[in-house]
């Protein structure tokens, strides 16, 4: 139950509207919603973005129900319904997230001081716009000193990686594309051909051994509890929103099942404040997305008039690493959550990333063929390179590209750029030219597992405005360029007969990351971290973090699977509603405990994605849905 106006609503016993309010509907938020609903909690999920729907033709349903299950607890109670996904990235109102300009799309772009961040929006969070690539991390992640002494994290997380893989429908990419052939040859030339492998992806291609592009079938993952699905067309449109219902987005798995259990999802609403209530629990205020911040008296009054208020016994922050940090920092600065750890904002990670590309003059539709990411290789043990693609017509991000310019040395980078443009002026125009950019550009995503970080802080401006900024933090400097990535991309360009491209922001030594992490990390105490090993917030009982903000170290791989696995693990230790909590008190030393099985699992026990407590044998979903076209690629360090 929720309410508008100044007076909060009450439930039947007069205390709380909901047991758990979840801020955000991405990987962590969707896991939280399902697993706690299975344990009997009354859960409401609040999402700033809109609810989107694939094409009704793809789902075999009507436009009214294509975006949600018929048994859903609630949709958008403002009556807005679901919006169609963008046709491509040039459909700016449905692609970009700029609500103050009338754009309520799936792609956020945020300048965070010395890094530009790409992230997702909408019901389903980052899954709506991510590249559906689901790898386990490198060894450096488990061994990071921030948390290594607390537990054997490889052993602790292993069963939850397995559960996450089955829920997200992870299978090997079944098709070796033109880009894969190019990247394989580059890996061989660099002497690391044995590390090349086809990617693990969360996409439905069709029944086992029989790819079925465009064919709609009954639920293949959840024993009939899930939605009908349509086989992948390999059109490259994953990151502009899969309109064909092949991508395993969260609204087709975790969140779909959660709504069937009665979870309420409230879209188009931003949480503005979280305030402790006398005697326990929290008052949570939300307002329409893009509304004036509620950290000022005028803003709070406006939020009460235009927005909603809930009384929640517990609150789970899952708004993404940036969204969670933004809200927690605002609440600490406003004195509403004064006992948050001083480590809030520290150990913010960029996954040590660079986004590069190789651009040609002539369009080639082979470049757009495949899912968004189809393979990868390792130039060295810490560096991971993947080919990335957009579908035909998705050219909106072309202006972010520019002539590749190496960093380092005594000559300023911008001066190197000027010199390159003077020598070959057509290259600057070619790299950032939107004309058929997705058909001319083979993108390279470069990730590293090095220990480097940023410190995120909140800055205030006039009229109650505030924004996040960053500076260098613990470990080595956050890289402004990655030599191995530039080398690999130049080799790709040579094979295409094209030219290497970097990001325009790199001229100011501002890299781009698609995977911002950390800032509310796990630590042994409030002096070392923001949350404990059960992901409970130090200093404020009843608050939790279940998203990328709790990821402690750079992964060197795409982080969505790790965020999901960590959330699965955290929710596994919650008791069923009304039962005793097996976790030690907040602030007590960590001890390993057994997971608590839910009273009302959403997925039948015989289904591939059934919930199985840690330690029980499982059949990997990849074995059930592996395509006959899968090639024998090397396993590579990503599974080490």
**CA dihedral angle for residue 498, residue 500, residue 504, residue 508, rounded to 10 degrees:** -150
CB distance 623 to 182 below 8 Å: no
Query: How many Å apart are CA 620 and CA 623, to the nearest integer?
Result: 6
What three-state secondary structure class fits 426? helix
Structure tokens at 505: 């922001």
Residue 230: strand pairing partners: 216
Look at the chain and count its residues.
640
CB distance 634 to 194 below 8 Å: yes
- Residues noted as catalytic: 515
Query: How many Å apart are CA 427 and CA 423, to the nearest integer?
Result: 9
Buried b (16+ CB within 10 A) or exposed e, 189-202: ebebeebbbbbbbb
Query: How many Å apart are CA 478 and CA 469, to the nearest integer?
Result: 14
Q: How far is CA 211 from CA 204, 375, 628, 630, in A?
A: 9, 18, 8, 11
State the pairing for strand pair 229-230/216-217.
antiparallel
Within 8 A by CB and 6+ apart from 353, the residues are 445, 446, 447, 448, 511, 512, 513, 514, 515
Q: How far is CA 271 from CA 84, 307, 316, in A?
A: 24, 9, 12
HSE-up (13 A, CA, CB side) for residue 433: 16
E strand segments, 91-226: 97-98, 103-104, 107-112, 115-120, 170-172, 197-198, 200-202, 216-217
* Radius of gyration of the chain from its Cα atoms, rounded to whole angstroms: 23
E strand segments, 235-374: 264-266, 269-276, 282-288, 308-317, 348-349, 354-359
Residue 380: strand pairing partners: 383
Largest CA distance in the chain: 75
**Tokens 């360029």, residue?**
481
Within 8 A by CB and 6+ apart from 462, the residues are none
Query: How many Å apart are CA 50 and CA 125, to the nearest integer?
Result: 10
């Amino acid at each position: 139950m929720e309410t508008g106006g100044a007076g909060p609503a009450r439930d039947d016993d007069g205390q709380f509207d909901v047991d758990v309010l979840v801020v955000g509907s991405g990987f962590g938020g969707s896991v939280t919603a399902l697993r706690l609903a299975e344990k009997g909690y009354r859960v409401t999920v609040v999402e700033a973005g809109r609810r989107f729907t694939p094409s009704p033709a793809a789902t075999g349903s009507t436009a009214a129900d294509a975006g949600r299950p018929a048994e859903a607890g609630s949709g958008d109670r403002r009556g807005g319904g679901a919006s169609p996904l963008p046709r491509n990235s040039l459909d700016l109102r449905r692609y970009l997230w700029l609500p103050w300009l009338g754009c309520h799309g799936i792609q956020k772009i945020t300048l965070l001081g010395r890094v530009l961040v790409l992230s997702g929006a909408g019901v389903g969070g980052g899954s709506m716009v991510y590249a559906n690539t689901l790898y386990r991390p490198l060894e450096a992640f488990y061994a990071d000193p921030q948390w290594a002494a607390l537990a054997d994290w490889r052993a602790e997380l292993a069963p939850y990686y397995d559960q996450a893989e089955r829920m997200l429908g992870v299978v090997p990419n079944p098709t070796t594309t033109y880009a894969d052939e190019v990247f394989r040859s580059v890996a061989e030339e660099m002497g690391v051909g044995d590390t090349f492998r086809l990617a693990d992806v969360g996409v439905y291609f069709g029944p086992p051994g029989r790819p079925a592009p465009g064919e709609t079938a009954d639920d293949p993952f959840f024993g009939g509890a899930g939605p009908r699905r349509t086989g992948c067309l390999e059109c490259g449109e994953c990151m502009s929103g899969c309109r064909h219902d092949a991508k395993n987005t969260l609204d087709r798995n975790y969140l779909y099942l959660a709504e069937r259990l009665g979870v309420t999802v409230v879209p188009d609403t931003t949480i503005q404040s979280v305030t402790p209530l006398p005697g326990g629990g929290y008052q949570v205020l939300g307002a329409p997305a893009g509304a004036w911040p509620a950290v000022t008296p005028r803003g709070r009054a406006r939020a009460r008039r235009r927005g909603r208020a809930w009384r929640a016994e517990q609150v789970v922050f899952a708004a993404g690493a940036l969204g969670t940090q933004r809200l927690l920092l605002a609440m600490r600065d406003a004195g509403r959550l004064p006992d948050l750890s001083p480590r809030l904002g520290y150990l913010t990670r960029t996954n040590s990333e660079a986004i590069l590309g190789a651009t040609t003059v002539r369009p080639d539709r082979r470049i757009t063929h495949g899912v968004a990411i189809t393979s990868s290789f390792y130039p060295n043990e810490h560096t991971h390179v993947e080919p990335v693609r957009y579908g035909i017509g998705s050219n909106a991000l072309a202006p972010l590209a520019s002539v590749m310019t190496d960093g380092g040395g005594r000559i300023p980078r911008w001066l190197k750029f000027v010199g390159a443009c003077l020598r070959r002026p057509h290259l600057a125009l070619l790299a950032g030219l939107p004309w058929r950019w997705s058909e001319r550009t083979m993108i390279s995503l470069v990730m590293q597992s090095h220990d480097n970080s940023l410190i995120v802080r909140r800055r205030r401006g006039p009229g109650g405005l505030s924004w996040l900024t960053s500076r260098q933090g613990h470990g080595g400097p956050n890289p402004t360029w990655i030599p191995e990535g530039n080398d690999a991309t130049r080799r790709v360009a040579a094979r295409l007969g094209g030219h290497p491209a970097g990001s325009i922001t790199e001229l100011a030594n501002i890299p781009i990351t698609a995977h911002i992490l950390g800032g509310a990390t796990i630590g042994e105490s409030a002096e070392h971290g923001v949350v404990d090993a059960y992901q409970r917030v130090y200093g404020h009982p009843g608050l939790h973090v279940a998203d990328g903000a709790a990821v402690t170290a750079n992964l060197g791989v795409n982080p969505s699977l790790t965020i999901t696995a960590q959330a699965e693990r955290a929710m596994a230790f919650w008791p069923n509603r009304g039962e005793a909590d097996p976790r030690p008190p907040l602030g007590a030393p960590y001890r390993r405990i057994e997971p608590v099985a839910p009273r009302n699992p959403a997925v039948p026990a015989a289904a591939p994605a059934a919930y199985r407590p840690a330690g029980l044998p499982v059949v990997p979903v990849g074995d059930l849905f592996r395509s006959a076209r899968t090639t024998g690629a090397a396993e590579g360090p990503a599974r080490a």
